[in-house]
Amino acid sequence: MREVVLNIYRHWDLIRSFARRDIKARYKQTALGIAWSVLQPLSMMVVFTLVFSIFARVPSDGIPYPVFAYSALVFWTFFSNTIGGGTSAMVSNAVLIRKIYFPRETLLIAVMMAGLLDLSVASLLFLGMLAYYKIGLTLTALWVVPLLLLQIALTFGVISLTAAIHVNYRDMGHGLPLVLQLWMFATPVAYPMSVIPAWLRPYYLLNPMAAIIDGYRSAIIVGTTPDLPALGVSVIVTLVVLSLGLTVFKRAAQTFADVI
Amino acid sequence: MSDTAIQLTGVSKRYRLRHGWYVSSIKDEVERLTARLLGRPAPPREEFWALRDITFSLEPGEVLGLIGMNGAGKSTLLKILSKVTVPTTGTFETHGRLGSLIEIGAGFHPDLTGRENIFLNGSIMGMTRHEVQRKFDQIVAFAEVERFIDTPIKFYSSGMQMRLGFAVAAHTDPDVLLVDEILAVGDASFQAKCLNKLAELKSRNKTIILVSHHLANITDHSTKVLWLDRGTVRMVGETDAVVDAYLEHVSRDMKVDDSQHEARDVSGDRPISIADVTLLDGEENPQGRFDRGEKAHIDITYTATHAVPGVVFGVSFHDIHGWEIGGVITDPDSVKVTAAVDRAVLRLTLDPLFFVKGIYMLNVYVVDPATRRYYDLRRRALRLVLDGHRAVSNETTGYVYYPHQWEQLK
């Protein structure tokens, strides 16, 4: 772990270069450019509002449903996009990996950095919605910082694992979109945590993203401290995933060039 | 500074042969597992050793030439040295920053501009942003791409991309530099630049490992040569000694061809055939080894089954890789075959031999000048070994030491 942090520090310029490349290359020759990073969660919000709120009448704890959904979607989009990009980061840089040495995890961190840019652009709309619905931020909104750090740690752990697997088994690329979709429905994105029956709750919270997404909502919209016991479980699961991911990645990275 | 720049100890690399995308097929793994569970010996995985037990060290300022046939393990060794892959066994250490001119421009992104790519590639090669900024103008000038620096490089010519890639790599200021066949890149003036850069690094006591199929590159630049043969070190040491031994080995492997009459595959009717070819020295004694400047005769013995209207004999000279480097043919009508010939001998005299030191292979053939059809062709009919000095030049390739005079006119 210390080694990873040290490597990030040492190769910060390289990470920045990769992130810059990813962002620039992503929006070159697009007409809408960076606006795409808002469009994705925005369109999901519209669909969710129609389907879950208007058609299915899913409760939203008294919060206007559009902002209720968007508060989760903006962070979930960051999660699912970085996992998609991170998983294929090795394979899409195969030429580089086959030919040049550099710490491979820099590619993963760059994907997360590029994702953070999209997140901040998409957050602008979020702030606009908060103003529109006259939801004032309180000091509890500061919880966003540790929550985001926890989410990033989890993302890093997951993509370390999936990227390493993807190099050896391309099945990962096929299965992942499916898993992410299921994962989203196992997370309180479209519905509030309050609808989960009590008996299911302990198992439900094993999904580390559940407490994180619920936490954002509490901290930003409701103005209360996140559910700390739930978050504690999330931290433990995240640490397990992270250390497993980094261990596997470090081992697998030695032979990426031979296998990729 | 430590006194060794590179130290390899017992480095080996094993590759598992893969089936499709998988490291090993599920079926193989199941078979191995069941065999193990039943206490039987597991069927071995298909594998091969690209390198076996490589040990050598280099001091700062040394230039190591790496030679060997295709598949000898040169690329694998470079991959290990550049840390792209890890050795299966053994250890190695390098001191200082490692630069590589192996895959120049591999990190380029086609949609980014020249400027953006310089920063990207620079940081992939281990430079800090600040460092790239400082050297930016030098890099651009070296690559000669000033006018296009803000154009996406997908619009660059391949030559421009190469130059840019080399320029970035050359400015990483490495302590150990790996170079693979780069001297074949670009036009003459750019090659001169590259050579000067290498010379500069050498004079600054940097360590260089050079891989090239052109032995002239190796002999011109190396202080030491390592000959890899099927993954093992066949010989390592002083440049001339190793290169000579390698040449000797390679040309002996390419046995002089006595039997192969390629024309047989081409045509059924062979009115003229080459029965024998011999190489003689100036005193007409059979000889295969010459000093530069000596005289050589090549006697071609041929037979003809009937009269043939047009006949041209030719001898072509090849380097050990088979590249043709020159040749001579008979004048039209100088050889006439007006009736069946039982045994005739045609002599070619080369005087003086002005090839540079090395080993050359000679093809001997006879063609119909009107249709260009081969009557007979004997590939590698002769092996010609030249001793004496190698040409002293900065040119990277070359086979001929031209007869010449110099005069100081003013």
- CATH number of the domain enclosing B66: 3.40.50.300
pLDDT at A233: 97
- A112-115's contacts with Cβ under 8 Å and 24+ in sequence apart are A112/A82, A112/A86, A112/A152, A112/A155, A112/A156, A112/A159, A113/A15, A113/A16, A113/A19, A114/A19, A114/A22, A114/A23, A114/A26, A114/A85, A115/A78, A115/A81, A115/A82, A115/A85
Same domain, B267 and B242: no
For B213-253, the pLDDT digits (tens) are 777 778 878 899 999 999 999 999 998 889 888 888 877 76
Same domain, B234 and B94: yes
CB burial string B80-106: b at 16+ within 10 A, e below:
bbbbbbbbbebebebbbebbbbbbbbb
pLDDT at A188: 96
* pLDDT of B41 strictly over 80: no
Among candidate residues B200, B232, B252, the one where a domain is terminated: B252
The pair of structure tokens assigned to A86 is 């991170």
Same domain, B205 and B347: no
Say if A10 is an interface residue toward chain B (CB within 8 Å). no
Measure the CA–CA gap between B129 and B120, rounded to whole angstroms.
9
pLDDT at A66: 95
Residue found by looking up tokens 């390098």 in the block? B94
Instruction: State what percent of residues in chain B have pLDDT above 70.
Output: 87
For B60-95, the pLDDT digits (tens) are 889 999 998 888 899 899 989 988 889 999 998 888
- CATH number of the domain enclosing B349: 2.70.50.60
Residue in A17, A24, A100 nearest the CB of B84: A100
B contacts of A98 (beta carbons < 8 Å): 84
Q: Considering the domain boundaries, does residue B49 fall inside one?
A: no
Tell me the three-class secondary structure of A86-107, residue by residue. HHCHHHHCHHHHHHCCCCCHHH
Q: What is the mean pLDDT of residues B99-126?
A: 86
Same domain, B144 and B246: yes
Q: What is the mean pLDDT of residues B112-125?
A: 91
CB A238 within 8 A of CB A150: yes
Closest CA to A141 of A123, A158, A153: A123
Q: Considering the domain boundaries, does residue B394 fall inside one?
A: no
Residue B265: pLDDT band (50, 70, 90) is very low
Measure the CA–CA gap between A93 and A257, rounded to whole angstroms.
11
Same domain, B299 and B333: yes
A contacts of B126 (beta carbons < 8 Å): 14, 102
* pLDDT of B197 strictly over 70: yes
CB B54 within 8 A of CB B63: no
Exposed / middle / buried, residue A12 (Cβ in 10 Å: 0-12, 13-18, 19+):
middle
Q: Which domain covers residue B79, as residue numbers?
A: 60-252
Residue A216 corresponds to which amino acid? Y
Among candidate residues B252, B271, B305, the one where a domain is terminated: B252
Same domain, B357 and B284: yes
Same domain, B170 and B317: no
Same domain, B142 and B283: no
Give the residue, B40 or A180, on which the prediction is more confident: A180
The pair of structure tokens assigned to A185 is 């429905």
CB B109 within 8 A of CB B120: yes
In angstroms, the separation between the Cα of residue B250 and the nearest Cα of chain A is: 29
At residue B385, the 3 state secondary structure works out as: strand
Same domain, B168 and B75: yes
Among all residues of chain B, which has the CA nearest to that of A102?
B124
Same domain, B248 and B315: no
Order of strands, edge to edge, in the sheet holding B6-16?
B47-58, B6-16, B89-94
A contacts of B86 (beta carbons < 8 Å): 254-255
Contact A169 B102 (CB under 8 A): no
Q: Considering the domain boundaries, does residue B269 fall inside one?
A: yes
Same domain, B86 and B206: yes
Q: Considering the domain boundaries, does residue B323 fall inside one?
A: yes
Closest CA to A155 of A194, A192, A119, A121: A119
What is the crossing angle of helices A12-27 and B114-124, to 10°? Answer: 140
At residue B149, the 3 state secondary structure works out as: coil
Q: Considering the domain boundaries, does residue B48 fall inside one?
A: no
pLDDT at A195: 94
For A210-242, the pLDDT digits (tens) are 999 999 999 999 999 999 999 999 999 999 999
Q: What is the mean pLDDT of residues B106-135?
A: 90
pLDDT at B45: 65
Q: Which domain covers residue A172, as residue numbers?
A: 2-259
B contacts of A96 (beta carbons < 8 Å): 106-107, 124
Say if A26 is an interface residue toward chain B (CB within 8 Å). no
Q: Give the residue ranges of chain A where pLDDT is below 70.
A: none
Average pLDDT, chain B: 83
Same domain, B270 and B236: no
Instruction: State what percent of residues in chain B have pLDDT above 90.
Output: 31
Q: What is the mean pLDDT of residues B93-122?
A: 86
A-B C-beta contacts closer than 8 Å: 72
Among all residues of chain A, which has the CA nearest to that of B105?
A96
Residue B254: pLDDT band (50, 70, 90) is low
Q: Considering the domain boundaries, does residue B396 fall inside one?
A: no
Q: What's the domain count of chain A? A: 1
